[in-house]
């Protein structure tokens, strides 16, 4: 379904807010059935009209103007009784914000599942891990992906917190001091699917922190995805044989350079990730710059920027999911061939010397460093280290030979055996990685259930609101026959 646009979404939200307010007034006996029916009938006509351009506050003004025009004969001024532009605009903004947050959450959880699927397919895929641009230790692709699965999961958790902070109704605060009309703020919040009202009416129309609570995790989603995508860029440029990317992510072929097919789609995603994080910071600063007190129309621009950031973050998550899920072909042999180079396992020789030769840790580290330096001088990899090389370094370091059998070196220096020895929670051994991935999948599925149940509860509240309207109008029509 096409996005109806920000003005239409706000217009519909204003209609829901005013509808709930009118029904509350009728239930509280502030309005009689005839007046309530007149306003609700007019509301339907206003909602069907095209909204003007503008933020929430001018849209509320236009909405009320049209509503007054349609109710002036039967119920003059009743449409705005017990509410103000400020609380109506603030509430409508939160209605749209929570829907946009749920959309971003759905996309983020989809990315988490795609990353988990990729990781589960590569629990045994060896690769070198880099730190500060240098080979550090061997790992697996699955374990490597933990560096993006974790942050994206934490960002999703913060999005749920942001949703909870924003899913509170300001309605009934009016300008800031509420109203002398008998209003039931909790009833309006319930009818609109909120978790309750923002209790302080001053806070209800002055708050900006619900925007920050949405912006920060949206930026975190973009940053986590962007760091991974940037590393993928590096793979493609520095080691083009490591990964193959699907054609849809490549630039269109140039007849004069048929071999030149850069990953233009990936480059675009990296740029979008940077833009989301930057735009989130700008929107946050705009909100923070609003003076203390009722925000009025001053919050319209930061709110619009926030909604745009959330939509862009959602688009980034959706496209990243497509890339991870369908657009990557991993060259396992290439990665495996790189996993044992550059002495990434040589440091494990110290563990062998402590565990099997009884050396103290300081002596073991000194001997390991000597062996590694000698190997580097000779242009040897870790696989080229022999018992004779260890003995030669040992004579100079600890004053005696060790006579280690070559068969004992493999479990420490071979990349796959190196990983198998690491069995702690979250470590790169296949068993540990599988346990962690299973735990993460359980979390994602639980998060999806929460999201689906939350969205269903909000939908049901709005459906019940429509039923209330139908009941009031039907009763009034029957009474008038």
Instruction: Output the CA angle 384-388-391, nearest 5 degrees.
Output: 120
Q: In the predicted model, what is the mean pLDDT of the chain?
A: 94
Quick: pLDDT tens for 46-103: 999 999 998 999 999 999 999 999 997 778 888 899 999 999 999 999 999 999 999 9
* pLDDT score at 2: 63
- E-only strand ranges, 134-282: 134-140, 243-245
pLDDT at 411 over 90: no
**Stretch 292-314: mean pLDDT:** 97
Position 473 scores a pLDDT of 95
Instruction: Find the helix packing angle between 430-480 and 141-166, rounded to 10°.
Output: 30
State pLDDT tens for residues 416-442.
999 999 999 999 999 999 999 999 999
Return d(Cα 385, Cα 203) in angstroms, integer: 69
pLDDT tens column, 121-165:
999 999 988 888 788 899 999 999 999 999 999 999 999 999 999
DSSP summary character for residue 291: P
Under 8 Å between Cβ of 127 and 144: yes
| Radius of gyration, alpha carbons of the chain | 31
Query: pLDDT category, 232, cuts 50, 70, 90?
Result: very high
b/e 364-391 (16+ beta carbons within 10 angstroms → b)? bbbbbbbbbebbeeeebbbbebebebbe
* 364 contacts 404 by C-beta, under 8 angstroms: no
Look up the pTM and report it: 0.93
Tally: H helices and E strands in the chain: 17, 4
Q: Where are the domains of the chain?
A: 85-335+433-459, 346-413
User: Which class does domain 85-335+433-459 fall in?
Assistant: mainly alpha
Model confidence at 240, in pLDDT bands (50, 70, 90)?
Answer: confident
Inform me whether the pLDDT recorded for 109 exceeds 80. Answer: yes
Least confident of 90-104, 245-259, 454-468: 245-259
- The closest alpha carbon to 135, from 331, 415, 369, belongs to 415
Residue 481 has pLDDT above 60, yes or no: no
């Amino acid at each position: 379904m096409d996005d109806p646009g920000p003005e239409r979404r706000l217009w519909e939200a204003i209609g829901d807010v005013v509808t709930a307010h009118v029904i509350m007034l009728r239930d509280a006996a502030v309005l009689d059935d005839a007046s309530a029916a007149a306003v609700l009938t007019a509301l339907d006509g206003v909602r069907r009209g095209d909204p003007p351009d503008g933020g929430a506050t001018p849209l509320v003004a236009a909405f009320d103007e049209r509503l007054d025009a349609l109710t002036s004969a039967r119920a003059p001024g009743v449409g705005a009784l017990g509410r103000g532009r400020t609380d109506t605009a603030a509430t409508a903004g939160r209605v749209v914000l929570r829907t946009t947050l749920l959309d971003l959450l759905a996309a983020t959880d989809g990315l988490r599942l795609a990353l988990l699927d990729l990781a589960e397919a590569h629990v045994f895929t060896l690769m070198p891990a880099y730190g500060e641009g240098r080979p550090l230790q061997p790992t697996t692709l699955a374990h490597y992906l933990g560096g993006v699965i974790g942050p994206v999961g934490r960002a999703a958790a913060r999005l749920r917190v942001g949703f909870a902070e924003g899913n509170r109704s300001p309605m009934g605060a009016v300008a800031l001091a509420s109203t002398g009309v008998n209003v039931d703020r909790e009833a309006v919040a319930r009818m609109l699917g909120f978790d309750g009202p923002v209790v302080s009416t001053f806070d209800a129309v002055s708050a900006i922190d619900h925007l920050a609570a949405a912006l920060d995790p949206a930026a975190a989603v973009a940053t986590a995805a962007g760091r991974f995508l940037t590393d993928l860029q590096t793979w493609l440029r520095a080691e083009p044989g490591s990964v193959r990317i699907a054609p849809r992510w490549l630039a269109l072929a140039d007849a004069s350079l048929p071999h030149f097919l850069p990953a233009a789609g990936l480059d675009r995603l990296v740029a979008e990730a940077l833009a989301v994080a930057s735009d989130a910071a700008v929107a946050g600063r705009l909100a923070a710059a609003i003076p203390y007190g009722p925000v009025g129309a001053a919050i319209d621009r930061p709110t619009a920027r926030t909604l745009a950031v959330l939509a862009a973050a959602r688009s980034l998550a959706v496209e990243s999911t497509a890339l991870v899920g369908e657009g990557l072909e991993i060259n396992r042999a290439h990665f495996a061939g790189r996993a044992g180079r550059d002495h990434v396992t040589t440091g494990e020789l110290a563990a062998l010397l402590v565990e099997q030769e009884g050396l103290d840790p300081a002596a073991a580290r000194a001997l390991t460093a000597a062996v590694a330096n000698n190997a580097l001088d000779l242009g040897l990899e870790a696989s080229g280290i022999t018992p004779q090389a260890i003995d030669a370094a040992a004579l100079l370091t600890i004053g005696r030979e060790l006579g280690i059998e070559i068969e004992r070196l493999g479990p420490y220096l071979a990349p796959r055996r190196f990983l198998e020895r690491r069995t702690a929670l979250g470590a790169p051994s296949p068993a540990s990685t599988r346990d962690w991935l299973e735990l993460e999948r359980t979390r994602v599925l639980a998060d999806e259930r929460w999201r689906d149940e939350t969205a269903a509860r909000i939908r049901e509240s709005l459906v019940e609101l429509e039923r209330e309207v139908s009941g009031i109008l039907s009763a009034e029509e029957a009474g008038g026959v």
